[in-house]
């Protein structure tokens, strides 16, 4: 928990009275009002030439805090673009309404409105895992459970089709969202009332758009809020710090329309797979390697870890493997060079602990596909395996870690030696965990890594 910012008592609070900016009518509903939504979708929507027609109602996730803070500022916040050279400050006003995620009544009302055409999501990867998404039932405390209840209200209101746009770092994120939403809507089998035939209605009326989203946005710190106050002369507890780089690739239809996000550089493609693989493997995969191996070697941020030759070598080894499975027409060498520059931006303090969270979900997408492809090609896949090794060593040594399968990880940690390695690996891939030779290789990689890390500390 960050200490509260120290700001002059007479500093005015940012809101639309202090900085008049018109509010657009709500036509987009967003779930997961975190830092990334503010730096990405809210910013793209503000840049669209038809921004005046597209307001966002953004719902917080587990707690009301983010919504309360933003509501007190009438949805206004400052976006700080932080390059290696300096900061630039921009006011973003596309969020017309900020709502506590537990306010199901308002969510249903907005999703059931014929004005609403798009629902966007940044609810983290873990929110789509079967346990979290289903909870064994149509659990209204989960974001997808809430979404399904709101879709039932839309059907009831006859408000017509709409698009759901997943902006979480997941492979095939549109398909994953569709599957999770349809499964929830169909539960329990043979439902009555508002849910009878709901999954069929969703299937026919809701388009699930797939996206690859990119803009490195660390959690805002107390120091960032103090900096914004100093530079802008107001209190802004919802400010967000991000890099100048931004990218959004989308694939799918928008049956009720959408903002002209292409005005800010969004690209619409037929086949998203190569783009999402490039981003998930090269950027997010490298982030995971830097997070686990960097934390083991005593680093705190991405830039610090990248400047450690051992961490950098592990990234390059993984990139060499991943690049073999990406189309060269996507400019892979240039993409890698640009990533080194982005990761090396020391002014963006991207904490490794934030990236290290939810490893069981992330590694399945960031390491396993490359490992499988390399093994299929008759090679070792050692670079992809090293990402898993670093995760194993991290969860073994960390005092605290966040993961949707934390209980299973703790159970596995009660074992010793190769049995422990196999039990942890089984949480990512039961098939690999039953391959004795692979477990042995992982175990010996782990010993080497732990010894080298201890030497560095
Ligand atoms: N931050 C980035 O650089 C970045 C870049 C690309 C994509 N993303 C995607 O956006 C997601 C969110 O990132 P962020 O930086 O905004 O994080 P954040 O922690 O600032 O916000 C996450 C939001 O999701 C909610 N949430 C999290 N888990 C939930 C759950 N299980 N149920 C309900 N709500 C839940 C939180 O309450 C919060 O509103 C990431 O997980 C990732 O998939 C982030
Ligand atoms: O946001 P997560 O938790 O999926 O992953 C952590 C980072 O790898 C991620 O946020 C990147 O910074 C982001 O994907 C860059 O666009």
Q: Is 333 exposed, middle or buried (0-12, 13-18, 19+ CB in 10 A)?
A: exposed
pLDDT exceeds 60 at position 137:
no
Euclidean distance between CA atoms 131 and 244, whole angstroms: 36
- pLDDT tens for 404-432 read 999 999 999 999 999 999 999 999 999 99
Residue 243 Cβ contacting ligand 1 at under 6 Å: no
pTM over 0.90: yes
- pLDDT tens for 46-105 read 999 999 999 999 999 989 999 999 999 999 999 999 999 999 999 999 999 999 999 999
In sequence order, what are the beta bridge partners of 212?
A: 249
Q: Which among 124, 242, 359 is the best mutation to test ligand 1's pocket, defined by most ligand atoms within 8 Å of the CB?
A: 124
Euclidean distance between CA atoms 182 and 159, whole angstroms: 19
Q: Looking at the CA of 214, which ligand is closest?
A: 2
CB 442 within 8 A of CB 392: yes
Of 337-341, 359-363, 395-399, the least confident: 395-399
Q: Which among 38, 129, 290, 355 is the best mutation to test ligand 2's pocket, defined by most ligand atoms within 8 Å of the CB?
A: 355
Mean pLDDT of all residues in 175-186: 93
Mean pLDDT of all residues in 10-31: 97
**How confident is the model at residue 292, as a pLDDT?**
98
**How confident is the model at residue 1, as a pLDDT?**
59
Euclidean distance between CA atoms 21 and 441, whole angstroms: 59
Residue 432 Cβ contacting ligand 1 at under 6 Å: no
**116 Cα to the center of ligand 2, angstroms:** 28
Which is more confident, 243 or 192? 243
Euclidean distance between CA atoms 341 and 360, whole angstroms: 28
pLDDT exceeds 90 at position 6:
no
- What is the maximum alpha-carbon separation in the chain? 67
Read off the pLDDT band of 188 (50, 70, 90). Answer: low
pLDDT exceeds 60 at position 259:
yes
pLDDT exceeds 90 at position 186:
no
Residue 305 Cβ contacting ligand 1 at under 6 Å: no
pLDDT exceeds 60 at position 135:
no
**444 Cα to the center of ligand 1, angstroms:** 35
Residue 127 Cβ contacting ligand 1 at under 6 Å: yes
Q: Is 317 exposed, middle or buried (0-12, 13-18, 19+ CB in 10 A)?
A: middle
Kindly state the helix (H) or strand (E) to which residue 411 belongs, with its residue range. Answer: helix 406-413
pLDDT exceeds 90 at position 314:
yes
Residue 252 CA to its chain's centroid (Å) = 20
**How confident is the model at residue 189, as a pLDDT?**
63
Closest CA to 121 of 69, 88, 165: 165
Q: What percentage of the chain exceeds 90 in pLDDT?
A: 88
Euclidean distance between CA atoms 245 and 343, whole angstroms: 11
pLDDT exceeds 60 at position 134:
no
Outline where 297-381 has alpha helix (H).
302-306, 309-323, 332-343, 352-356, 359-366, 368-376
Read off the pLDDT band of 132 (50, 70, 90). Answer: low
**How confident is the model at residue 159, as a pLDDT?**
98
Q: Which two tokens mark 214?
A: 């990119």
**How confident is the model at residue 62, as a pLDDT?**
86
| Torsion, CA 104, CA 110, CA 113, CA 116, rounded to 10 | -140
- pLDDT tens for 69-82 read 999 999 999 999 99
Angle at the Cα of 48 (from 100 to 245), degrees rounded to 5? 85
Read off the pLDDT band of 371 (50, 70, 90). Answer: very high
Closest CA to 143 of 113, 115, 168, 171: 168
CB under 8 Å to 82, separation ≥6 — which residues? 241, 242, 243, 244, 345, 347, 348
Mean pLDDT of all residues in 247-274: 98
Residue 124 Cβ contacting ligand 1 at under 6 Å: yes
Outline where 165-307 has alpha helix (H).
173-185, 198-205, 222-232, 273-277, 286-296, 302-306
Q: Which among 34, 218, 241 is the best mutation to test ligand 1's pocket, defined by most ligand atoms within 8 Å of the CB?
A: 34
Read off the pLDDT band of 133 (50, 70, 90). Answer: low
Q: Which residues of 380-391 are buried (b: 16+ CB within 10 A; e: fewer)?
A: ebbbbbbbbbbb
CA atoms within 13 A on the CB side of 431: 4
């Amino acid at each position: 928990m960050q200490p509260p910012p120290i700001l002059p008592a007479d500093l005015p609070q940012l809101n639309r009275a202090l900085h008049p900016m018109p509010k657009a009518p709500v036509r987009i509903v967003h779930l997961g009002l975190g830092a990334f939504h503010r730096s990405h979708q809210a910013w793209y929507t503000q840049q669209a030439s038809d921004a005046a027609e597209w307001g966002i109602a953004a719902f917080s996730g587990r707690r009301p805090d983010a919504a309360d803070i933003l509501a007190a500022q009438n949805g206004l916040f400052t976006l700080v673009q932080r390059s290696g050279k300096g900061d630039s400050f921009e006011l973003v006003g596309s969020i017309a309404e900020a709502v506590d995620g537990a306010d199901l009544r308002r969510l249903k009302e907005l999703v059931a409105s014929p004005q609403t055409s798009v629902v966007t999501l940044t609810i983290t990867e873990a929110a789509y895992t079967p346990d979290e998404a289903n909870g064994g039932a149509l659990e209204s405390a989960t974001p997808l459970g809430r979404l399904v209840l709101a879709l039932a209200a839309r059907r009831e209101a006859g408000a017509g089709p709409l698009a759901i746009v997943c902006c979480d770092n997941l492979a095939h994120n549109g398909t994953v969202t569709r599957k999770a939403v349809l499964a929830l809507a169909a539960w329990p089998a043979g439902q009555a009332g508002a849910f009878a035939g709901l999954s069929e209605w969703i299937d026919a009326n809701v388009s699930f758009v797939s996206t690859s989203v990119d803009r490195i946005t660390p959690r805002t710190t107390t120091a960032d809020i103090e900096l914004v106050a100093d530079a802008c002369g107001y209190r802004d507890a919802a400010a967000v710090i991000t890099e100048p780089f931004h990218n959004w690739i989308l694939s799918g239809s928008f049956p009720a329309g959408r903002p002209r996000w292409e005005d800010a550089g969004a690209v619409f493609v037929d086949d998203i797979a190569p783009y999402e693989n490039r981003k998930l493997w090269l950027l997010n995969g490298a982030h995971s390697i830097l997070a686990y191996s960097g934390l083991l070697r005593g680093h705190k941020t991405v830039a610090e870890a990248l400047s450690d030759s051992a961490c950098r070598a592990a990234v390059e080894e993984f990139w060499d493997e991943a690049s073999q499975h990406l189309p060269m027409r996507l400019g892979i060498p240039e993409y890698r060079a640009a990533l080194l520059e982005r990761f090396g931006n020391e002014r963006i303090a991207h904490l490794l602990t934030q990236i290290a969270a939810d490893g069981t979900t992330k590694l399945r997408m960031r390491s396993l596909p490359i490992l499988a492809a390399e093994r299929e090609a008759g090679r070792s896949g050692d670079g992809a395996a090293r990402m898993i090794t670093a995760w194993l060593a991290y969860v073994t040594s960390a005092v605290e870690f966040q993961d949707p399968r934390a209980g299973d990880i703790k159970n596995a940690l009660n074992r010793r030696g190769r049995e422990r390695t196999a039990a942890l690996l089984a949480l990512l891939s039961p098939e690999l965990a039953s391959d004795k030779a692979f477990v042995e290789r992982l175990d010996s990689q782990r010993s080497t890594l732990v010894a080298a890390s201890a030497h560095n500390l």
